[in-house]
């Protein structure tokens, strides 16, 4: 492990997992420490294994959950949609046949794949983590190299526990300063994406650095890394520190006893060395940030909440101007409208971006003693059954119910509407999820991405709002 030159965190993790270096144009072969599996992107991969007569090489490094399709009400009944039910049943059969641990609907450990990995302590610093889901970048918050893969790659990892990959370039995202009141990790990442664009991170792994990042909790760090993919980067990372170790210690799969000490000694090396060079660097002043919301149909089309809907005429780049025109037409918004005057029908609190206990606490803090505005429907969907249980132990479910919000079971839910939780055509949501693509939350639905605090304040006022607007 003695390096002759200073290396970035990403390079260290990459090199520690290189089974063999590619020769010439050939990619490196990377060992995968943890493979997370869910029902949507795995059936064709298991089929491929069967066709080729292959086994899962390391079932003990693989774990599955049901999250994308699962209903968030009546989970004791069979899934009503027969196609969703078939997909979930297929996962159950595959996990049984190939010996993979599965947390099915209703299980105490079930939840969104990116919530349960960290929660169980399986996501650890310096590991490589993959999943057939682009938000696998979430796990980078622990200093892991974590990225989404397609179904062919899922099959590849199941069969070989490796992936052929070319090293990513590295980009430092430096966020320094102290965040203001009601400004959160979600606002940081939305501002980053607006700054570098949806393609800005393509080919890079992002390393989030600086005093504002160091000050974030683990859950907030996960929110930041989660949306790296929305800037085009497959992975985002944060160097592990005492906050990381405190989160991990005593989790079910965290190392114990002497193993813990050995692991921490190893993890302490996982910092970008002094003098290491990034291929690109971006700087953001945390103190200048305010609550951030999206107005368009890609996550880069965002602005501070205090601004107005932009005028496409003022955009110089032709492709961006056309994209903005199409977005405003789809979103049914007029240039110049203050973002605070946009009314919503639905508020969605949940997802792998903002469905953890701190997110629920933040929203409940705003909703306590208040009511969801008439005509607004608010869905609260915990990221996992453990998050749900923790929230209930704290009485958060009561706060949501008293405010008039719906308290649901765990899953991906309205983030992508593969289950019945969908927007109707023309409906508009303030959503703590990660994508505002056309039709993402239901055909014809319109999405504004927001933080949990903004989601809660918006639910109360019925228009995009921050908690300060309630005073």
Partner 1 sequence: MEPFKTHTGIGVPLRRSNVDTDQIIPAVYLKRVSRTGFEDGLFAAWRGDETFILNQEPFRAGSVLVAGPDFGTGSSREHAVWALQDHGFRVVISARFADIFRGNAGKGGLLAAQCEQQDVEQLWKILENEPGTEVSVDLEEKTVRAKDFVAGFAIDDYTRWRLLEGLDDIALTLRHAEEIDTFESQRPNWKPVTIPAATS
The footprint of partner 1 on residues 405-434 (CB under 8 A) is: 416-418
Question: What is the DSSP annotation of 390-415?
Answer: HHHHTTHHHHHHHHTPEE--SSSGGG
Does 50 engage in binding with partner 1 (CB under 8 A)?
Answer: no
Q: Let me know the angle formed at the C-alpha of 228 by 166 and 328, rounded to the nearest 5 degrees.
A: 125
Q: How far is CA 361 from CA 24, 77, 226, 411, in A?
A: 52, 29, 19, 18
Backbone angles phi, psi at 36, to 5 degrees: -100, 135
DSSP-H helix ranges across 80-217:
82-98, 113-119, 151-160, 185-196, 211-214
Q: Is 404 left (phi over 0), alpha (psi -120 to 50) or beta?
A: left
**Nearer to partner 1 among residue 91 and residue 403 (C-beta):** 91
Residues 340-369 that bind partner 1 (CB under 8 A): none
Q: Looking at 12, 139, 408, 435, which residue binds partner 1 (CB under 8 A)?
A: 435
Is 79 a residue that touches partner 1 (CB under 8 A)? no
Binding region for partner 1 (CB under 8 A) out of 43-51, 279-287, 371-379, 454-462: 43-51
Closest CB 229 distance from partner 1, rounded Å: 8
Please report how close the Cβ of residue 407 comes to partner 1 at its closest, in angstroms: 24
For residue 431, the cross-strand partners are 348, 449
Beta-bridged to residue 292, according to DSSP, are: 304
7 forms part of the interface with partner 1 (CB under 8 A):
no
Residue 237 is given by DSSP the state: E
Give the per-residue contact string, 180-219, with partner 1 (x = CB under 8 A; - = no): ------------------xx--xx----------------
Q: Considering the complex, what minimum distance in angstroms separates the CB of residue 273 from partner 1?
A: 21
Least distance from partner 1 to the Cβ atom of residue 252, Å: 3
Q: Taking CB under 8 A as the criterion, which residues in 156-185 touch partner 1?
A: 156, 159-162, 164, 166
Q: What does the alpha-carbon distance between residue 350 and residue 382 come to, in Å, rounded to a whole number?
A: 6
Smallest distance, Å, CB 86 to partner 1? 6
CA atoms lying within 13 Å on the CB side of residue 112: 31
Among 15, 92, 109, 307, binds partner 1 (CB under 8 A): 109
Degrees to nearest 5, angle at CA 136 with 131 and 138: 155
Candidates 185, 222, 237, 263; binder of partner 1 (CB under 8 A) is 263
Q: Site residues for partner 1, window 272-311 (CB under 8 A)?
A: 298
| Cβ 375 to partner 1 shortest distance, Å | 26
């Amino acid at each position: 492990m003695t390096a002759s030159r200073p290396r970035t965190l990403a390079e260290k993790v990459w090199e520690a997992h290189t089974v063999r270096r590619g020769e010439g144009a050939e990619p490196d072969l990377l060992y995968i420490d943890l493979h997370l599996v869910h029902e949507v992107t795995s059936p064709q991969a298991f089929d491929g294994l069967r066709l080729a007569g292959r086994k899962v090489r390391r079932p003990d490094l693989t774990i599955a959950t049901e999250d994308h399709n699962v209903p968030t009400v009546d989970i004791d009944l069979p899934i009503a949609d027969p196609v969703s039910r078939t997909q979930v049943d297929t996962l159950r059969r595959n996990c049984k046949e190939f010996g993979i641990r599965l947390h099915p609907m209703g299980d105490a450990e079930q939840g969104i794949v990116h919530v349960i990995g960290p929660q169980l302590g399986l996501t650890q610093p310096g590991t490589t983590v993959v999943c057939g889901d682009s938000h696998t970048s979430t796990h980078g918050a622990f200093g892991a190299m974590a990225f989404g893969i397609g179904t062919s790659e899922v099959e590849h990892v199941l069969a070989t526990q490796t992936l052929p990959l070319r090293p990513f370039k590295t980009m430092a995202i430096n966020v320094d300063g102290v965040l203001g009141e009601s400004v959160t990790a979600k606002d940081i990442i939305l501002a980053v994406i607006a700054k570098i664009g949806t393609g800005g991170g393509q080919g890079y792994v992002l390393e989030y650095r600086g005093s504002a990042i160091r000050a974030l909790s683990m859950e907030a760090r996960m929110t930041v890394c989660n949306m790296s993919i929305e800037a085009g980067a497959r992975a985002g990372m944060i160097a592990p520190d005492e906050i990381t170790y405190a989160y991990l210690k005593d989790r079910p799969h965290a190392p114990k006893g002497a193993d813990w000490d050995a692991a921490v000694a190893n993890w302490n090396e996982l910092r970008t060395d002094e003098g290491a060079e990034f291929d690109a660097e971006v700087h953001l002043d945390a103190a200048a940030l305010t609550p951030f919301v999206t107005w368009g149909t890609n996550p880069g089309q965002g602005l501070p909440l205090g601004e107005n809907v932009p005028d496409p005429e003022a955009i110089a780049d032709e492709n961006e101007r056309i994209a903005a025109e199409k977005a405003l037409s789809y979103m049914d918004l007029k240039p110049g409208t203050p973002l605070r005057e946009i009314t919503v029908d639905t508020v969605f609190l949940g997802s792998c971006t903002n469905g953890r206990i701190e997110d629920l606490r933040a929203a409940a803090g705003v909703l306590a003693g208040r009511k969801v505005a008439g005509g607004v429907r608010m869905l609260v969907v915990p990221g996992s059954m453990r998050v749900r249980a923790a929230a209930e132990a704290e009485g958060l479910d009561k706060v949501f119910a008293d405010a008039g919000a719906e308290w649901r079971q765990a899953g991906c839910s309205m983030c992508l509407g593969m289950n019945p939780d969908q927007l109707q055509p023309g409906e508009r949501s303030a959503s703590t999820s990660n994508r505002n693509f056309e039709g993402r939350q239901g055909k014809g639905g319109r999405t504004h991405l927001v933080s949990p605090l903004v989601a809660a304040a918006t639910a109360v006022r019925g228009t995009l709002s921050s908690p300060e607007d309630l005073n």
